[in-house]
Amino acid sequence: MHLKETLINRKYIITLSLFILIYTLTFSYFTYLKHHNLSSYGWDLGVFNQLFYSSTYGEKPLYYTPDLYMNPQGNYFAIHFSPILFTLFPLYAFHPDAVTLLIAKCFVLAFAALPLFYLTREITGSEKAALAVSLSYLLHPGVQGANWFDFQPQVFIPLLAFSTYLMLVKARWRLYLPFLLLTLSIQEHVFSIMMSITLGYLLVAQRRERPQSMKKRTEMKAVMATLIVCVIFFGASRGFIESFPIEQEFSDVYRASGVFSVIGFEGDTLQIPLYVVSHLFESLRAFAHDFHLKLLYMVLMFAPLLLLPLKDRFIIANLALFLPFLASNYNAYYMVGSHYSLYLLPSIFISLAYSLGKHDVDTYRLARKMLVASALTILVVSPISPVSARLNSCCYLLWYPKPNNNPVDVARVHDVLKLVSRDASILTQNHIFPHVSCSVDAYLIPVKSYNSEQTEIIERYVDSLIGRSDIVLLDLTSIDSWTRYTLERLTASPDFAVNAISHETIMYSRITHEE
């Protein structure tokens, strides 16, 4: 009888746990299939798999090779400061493989629904509403789309941002600071999220009934301390990143300055909100760029939630987070299917919880409608839905990688991959690199376009990669300019010969000259 009462009392959390498990298993299976079908890439899955492997087994902490032309030391912290990655080392050591990272990503994203449940319950006082919000999170296009694109440390943002904000709302100060520091350790730019949701807390705290004035409360001190810690952490992390040498010829690539070329901006992303305000004409032109995609993105972010997050003042303090995405010309910033939506989800769902927690709102009716809207939306745009694949084949609306629909080509690549020795140094393409990245001597053929001066440097760089490699593996069904350049160099080289060929998959091996 005691067990039955426990199950009844905890039915909402048990239901949510079941859906978290279902989500994790489902997306683990489908992301594994996507990876096996050569639809995962060196940027980003191969990069992270290699740095995990080099840190765990290769005696080169955080070492990866795809950006050596720009980042000669090959240390990932020269690009982004993400100490949160160390938390996954024990799991990765148990099974060192790219699939481990994909499964970890699915679980971390799904598990974020749990602190969101407790946070919503704290705000609304309703477990039904909390369950509805958490299930809507699992069904959200921003969550499932981000889950589909390989692996990035940003997968921790929802889990840790929700947990940190929960500690703030519940005034658990002993846990609040550790959670805050852990959240900031995801990446240097995450400080802007924490500052925004903390300022949002100030806005909504004014309507809570408390016997003391706001300035005298402990919460006010915590808010001020949070803002100070965020700024200090960001400054320290940026200083650490800048201590690494970067090849100046590729400083534009390093800064990703091209992502805001439509607005004429080449500075730090964090300056975008101020730039937008001070350059209104250019900003309007930037917002008009790919307007249909940006409009669709905002619809998919808010419409499944019945626009409720826009109806609470909490969102006001977080609007600046949306500006870099809407002012950009890089479509990954404003299309469902990339990890960038994870920067916006904490603000959206915390504001949703506050909207449902208002006294003049029919919480249960809205929650039911929201679940229906979320379910209908995700049936169309989920990356595992055949509807989204058909939709994307007609018009490019979702930032999902193009699937490899030819199982014969996939099988041939895997047949050749089986011939590659684990300890051999290898050079290969973007879609094959994740499958050979459990090695510190795996190298990646560039995929970007460069200016004339940079192109000359990259040609010498590719020549050096060929010189370092024992094996060069090429899939000629997917060929670009730098793959073609590599093929031409191999064809003319007396040091390499074709060792294996399966249709259009070719493996070149270095010739060992006997004395």
Instruction: Identify the H or E element spanning 440.
Output: none
Q: Which of 257, 256, 246, 249 is nearest to 456 (CA)?
A: 249
Instruction: Give the pLDDT confidence score for residue 514 in this predicted structure.
Output: 55
Q: How are beta strands 505-510 and 471-475 bridged, if at all?
A: antiparallel
Residues 247 and 212 in one domain: yes
* Of the residues 361, 394, 427, the one at which a domain ends: 394
Residues 208 and 335 in one domain: yes
Instruction: Give the pLDDT confidence score for residue 515 in this predicted structure.
Output: 45
Instruction: Give the pLDDT confidence score for residue 195 in this predicted structure.
Output: 96
Cα 450 to Cα 456: distance, rounded to the nearest angstrom:
9
Residues 415 and 369 in one domain: no
Residues 388 and 411 in one domain: no
* Of the residues 341, 366, 394, the one at which a domain ends: 394
Cα 159 to Cα 87: distance, rounded to the nearest angstrom:
14
Cα 375 to Cα 140: distance, rounded to the nearest angstrom:
9
Residues 138 and 214 in one domain: yes
Cα 76 to Cα 419: distance, rounded to the nearest angstrom:
30
Asked if residue 462 belongs to a domain, the reply is yes
- Residue 333 is part of which domain span? 112-394
Cα 130 to Cα 362: distance, rounded to the nearest angstrom:
14
Domain count, the chain: 2
Asked if residue 144 belongs to a domain, the reply is yes
Residues 429 and 368 in one domain: no
Instruction: Give, as one character, the DSSP assignment of residue 443.
Output: E
Residues 246 and 306 in one domain: yes
CA distances from 123 to 170, 352, 357, 367, 375 (A): 10, 10, 6, 15, 24
Cα 75 to Cα 217: distance, rounded to the nearest angstrom:
44
Asked if residue 31 belongs to a domain, the reply is no
Asked if residue 175 belongs to a domain, the reply is yes
> Taking a C-beta distance cutoff of 8 angstroms, is the pair 75, 115 a contact?
no
Residues 381 and 441 in one domain: no
Residues 335 and 420 in one domain: no
CA angle 71/75/76 to nearest 5° reads: 95
Asked if residue 27 belongs to a domain, the reply is no
* Of the residues 394, 423, 448, the one at which a domain ends: 394
Residues 351 and 441 in one domain: no
Rg (CA), the chain: 24
Asked if residue 38 belongs to a domain, the reply is no
Residues 299 and 168 in one domain: yes
- What does the pLDDT profile of the chain (515 residues) look like in tens digits? 466 666 666 899 999 999 999 999 999 999 999 999 999 999 999 999 999 999 999 889 999 999 999 999 999 999 999 999 999 999 999 999 999 999 999 999 999 999 999 999 999 999 999 999 999 999 999 999 999 999 999 999 999 999 999 999 998 999 999 999 999 999 999 999 999 999 999 998 766 555 555 545 678 888 999 999 999 999 999 999 999 999 999 998 898 878 998 988 887 777 888 888 888 888 888 899 999 999 999 999 999 999 999 999 999 999 999 999 999 999 999 999 999 999 999 999 999 999 999 876 788 899 999 999 999 999 999 999 999 988 888 888 999 987 766 888 899 999 999 999 888 999 999 999 999 999 999 999 999 989 999 999 999 999 999 999 999 999 999 899 999 999 999 999 999 999 999 889 999 999 986 54
Residues 376 and 415 in one domain: no
Asked if residue 1 belongs to a domain, the reply is no
Cα 199 to Cα 197: distance, rounded to the nearest angstrom:
5
The secondary structure of 249-296, three-state, reads HHHHHHHCHHHHHHHCCCCCHHHHHHHHHHCHHHHHHHHHCCHHHHHH
Asked if residue 33 belongs to a domain, the reply is no
